[in-house]
Amino acid sequence: MKTKASITFGLVDVTAKEDSTITVNDKQNFVDIMDLKKDNIEEIKYGTCEKNQFALNGTFQLMPDYEQLENMCWWSNKMSNEKGEFDTPLVMEINFTEAHSSLGITLIFSSANDYCSKLNLKYYDINNNLLSDSDYYPTNYYTICNNICENYHKIVITFYSTNNPYRYLKLYKILYGAEKVFEGDSLMSAKLLEETSLISDELTINTLDFTLFSENDEFNIVNPQGFYRLLQQRQRLNVKETLLKENKEKDMGVYYLNSWKNKEDKIMEMSATDIIGVLDKTSFNGGMYKKIKFKDLIKEILESARLYNDEYSIEDSLKNIELTGYIPICSHREALQQAVFAVGAIVNSTRGSVIKMYPLNTEAEIVNTMDKTNVWQNTKKFTQMDIVTGVEVTAHEYVADTEETKLYEANLKAGNSKVVFNEPVASMTCEGGTVIESNCNYAIIYCSKDSNVVISGYKYKDNMQTYLVEIKNLDPTLKQNTLKVESGYLIDRNNAEEVGARILAYYEKTYKTEYTNVLKNEELSNCVDVEGYAGQKLKGVITKQDIDLTGGFISDTEIIAKIKEDEDG
């Protein structure tokens, strides 16, 4: 299959827009210049009295009364002359409270083929010293003014002319930086590994490994003028795959730069992870929970990692499940795993920028049948998974001791200090300092001067109880194999048996199927039919796709499958 992969580096300072204050020397009365600070503005093409502007192809609308106009961003009040020039140039000044650095600036004008044809861009530092002064001659409504500038506090843009005569200047978006796209010969190789666990005993991390060829040394580590110095951990990458025969573009997801190095003079090797990989590097303070709704616990965990409502989704059937238990100080990834494991949710962050949480549905619609027509010859392999005859689940019940004990004593310096406890504690008191923040795992203590600090409180005791779920009517000749689940700290006596039954069902008569195929519409956690040997048919769920993006969209795929009941003799 002929395909084309592309990886886009969003070298944009996303904090600059929020920090900006914009003023202009000329504008229409109906515009609000602050619209330029909004995201996702969609232009509506309005017909005006500008010469030869109102195309009669159905793409333009009549302009309503001014009070009904919204999201107009910046339209100038002055119109360019017969040469497309402004008699008095238009000036935009953008001030910032903090220093910013970016790969130039991106200006998005009207997509109705109306844009500025000449402009000047100046950057200034905090003392109003000129850092950079460059002229640009745009040839498209989407204009990238490439020019690396660091630690600027002010930008002044002067607009001299429009590409068409007798036009208002119309600007709809400003990006403080630019997007750099690698595709074709500049993207030498790219491989994507997508995985998920159907029981969430682990939150897998999807990875992207790719090699770039940078002809002009933009990404060369030792090039002082290159883009390399603007790269950062968590640099956002957008991955696309285009099926050329169908002229169809697929979103392969958002990834975050993890490491990079020069392989040769102009060749860079880079690796990235999905958002779960980012969560693995950040810390969550944990807590003690009693009948907290799943949606509220997820919100607490992810907002602590600065991920908000539009960056994750929870299927409705999971939202109001109540959980009781404990989460120690751990990574956000580990905390998320504790929560989803307890409710039986799959976590999937592929093919987009959102973390999706939903229950396993083995009755979902079959997206494809994997048979000899779409599986490479001699690549299919079946392996029976371990036969688990029982699951022993430890339920946890945390009860505070009735006897107060000394939890911590030390000399602390003046200021704030974080004290971490070896065991969860309740109802703490502090001598020698002030507790300004705490939960069962830690306390932040403020001392006005160097002090001896003593913290007392009540330790939690974990009253553990085990629940055994076994295969019914177990064949006495079958070797016993009991799986133990001990560290699910959000498992209590109310959900222990349910968790055990879910895990037992996962392992019962289950096969891991592996094959190589050219991807079409298959995605992680999709249900597929698989043609077995001797006419057998299996039904399973895709749990892994190791994809060669630059080598024909070929995947080494794994599914967890069971023989279809109607063909199981």
pLDDT of residue 219: 63
Number of domains in the chain: 4
In terms of domains, do 405 and 522 share one?
Answer: no
pLDDT score of 393: 98
pLDDT score of 220 more than 80: no
CATH code of residue 346: 3.55.50.10
Task: Verify that 404 and 352 share a domain, yes or no.
Answer: no
- 211 confidence band (pLDDT: 50, 70, 90): very high
Q: How far is CA 350 from CA 204, 251, 317, in A?
A: 11, 9, 21
Averaged pLDDT, 34-46: 75
Q: Is 291 exposed, middle or buried (0-12, 13-18, 19+ CB in 10 A)?
A: exposed
Please check the confidence at residue 79 and state whether its pLDDT lies above 80.
yes
Distance, CA of 259 to CA of 468 (rounded, Å): 45
The verdict on 41 and 126 lying in the same domain is yes
Residue 33 identity (one-letter amino acid): I
Q: What type of residue sits at position 87?
A: D
Same domain, yes or no: 305 and 404? no
Domain boundary among the residues 181, 197, 218 is at 181
568: pLDDT strictly greater than 50: no
Instruction: Looking at the structure, tell me whether residues 375 and 518 fall in a common domain.
Output: yes
pLDDT tier for residue 66 given thresholds of 50, 70 and 90: low
- What is the structure's pLDDT at 229? 54
Residues contacting residue 435 through CB under 8 Å, at least 6 positions apart: 428, 443, 444, 445
pLDDT for the residue numbered 268: 87
Percent of the chain scoring above 90 in pLDDT = 65
Report DSSP state, residue 83.
T
Do 431 and 520 lie in one domain? The reply is: no
Q: Which H or E run contains 505?
A: helix 496-507
Neighbours of 422 (CB within 10 A): 9
pLDDT of residue 221: 58
What is the average per-residue pLDDT within 41-68? 66
The last residue of a domain, from among 158, 181, 204: 181
Structural domain contains residue 334: yes
- pLDDT-derived band of residue 226, with 50, 70 and 90 as boundaries? low
Per-residue confidence band for 179, with pLDDT thresholds at 50, 70 and 90: confident
Considering the domain architecture, whether residues 376 and 423 belong to the same structural domain is answered as: no
State how far the Cα of 265 lies from the Cα of 219, in Å rounded to an integer. 10
Closest CA to 401 of 369, 385, 424: 424
Of the candidate ranges 103-112, 187-196, 459-468, the one whose mean pLDDT is the lowest = 103-112
Domain extent, residue 453, equals 398-462
> Tens of pLDDT along 452-482?
999 999 999 999 999 999 998 877 777 889 9
User: What integer is the mean pLDDT of 221-240?
Assistant: 66
> How many CA atoms within 13 Å lie on the side-chain side of 187?
24
Answer positive or negative: Cα dihedral of 311, 312, 316, 319: negative
Q: What is the mean pLDDT of residues 528-552?
A: 91
* 280 CB-side CA count, 13 A: 12
pLDDT, mean over the chain: 89
Length of the chain: 569
Q: For 259-269, what is each residue's pLDDT tens digit?
A: 888 877 788 89
* C-alpha–C-alpha distance, residues 466 and 297, integer Å: 25
pLDDT at 26 over 50: yes
- Residue 352 inside a domain? The answer is yes
Between 163 and 232, the more confident residue is 163
Residue 50 within any structural domain of the chain = yes
Interatomic CA distance for residues 555 and 515, integer angstroms = 8
Q: Pick 248 or 327 by higher pLDDT.
A: 327
Whether 482 is in a domain gets the answer no
Mean pLDDT across 191-206: 97
How far, in Å, CA of 546 to CA of 207, rounded?
A: 10
Cα 329 from chain centre: 23
Q: Which of 196-200, 373-377, 525-529 has the lowest mean pLDDT?
A: 373-377
Which pLDDT band holds residue 30 (cuts at 50, 70, 90)? confident
Q: How confident is the model at residue 251 (pLDDT cuts 50, 70, 90)?
A: very high
Q: Are residues 43 and 177 in the same domain?
A: yes
- Residue 125's Cβ-count burial label (10 Å; 0-12, 13-18, 19+) is middle
Q: How far is CA 71 from the centre of its chain?
A: 27
Give pLDDT tens digits for 423-436: 999 999 999 999 99
Q: Write down the pLDDT at residue 567.
A: 47
- 288-334 pLDDT per residue, tens: 999 999 999 999 999 999 898 889 999 999 999 999 999 999 999 99
174 and 42 in a common domain:
yes
Please name which of 567, 548, 17 lies closest in space to residue 252, comparing C-alpha atoms: 548
Say if residue 168 is in the same domain as residue 304.
no
- Return the pLDDT at 97: 96
pTM: 0.81
Decide if 274 contacts 295 (C-beta within 8 A).
no
Q: Are residues 345 and 414 in the same domain?
A: no
Which among 511, 521, 517, 502 has a CA at the least distance from the CA of 541? Answer: 511
How many Cβ atoms from other residues are within 10 Å of residue 385's Cβ?
A: 14
The residue ranking higher by pLDDT, 210 or 474, is 210
Strands (DSSP E) found in 360-412? 366-370, 381-384, 390-395, 398-400, 405-412
Are residue 378 and residue 329 in the same domain, yes or no?
no
d(CA 124, CA 154): 5
pLDDT class for 569, splitting at 50, 70, 90? very low
What is the DSSP annotation of 111-137?
Answer: TTTB-EEEEEEEEE-TT--EEEEEEE-
- The residue among 146, 181, 216 that closes a domain is 181
Query: Between 451 and 44, whose confidence is greater?
Result: 451
Does residue 206 lie in a domain region? no
Q: Give the torsion through C-alpha atoms of 272, 108, 223, 4, to 10 deg.
A: 50
pLDDT at 498: 97
Residue 224 has pLDDT above 60, yes or no: no
**CATH code, domain with 173:** 2.60.120.260
Cβ 463 vs Cβ 359: under 8 Å: no
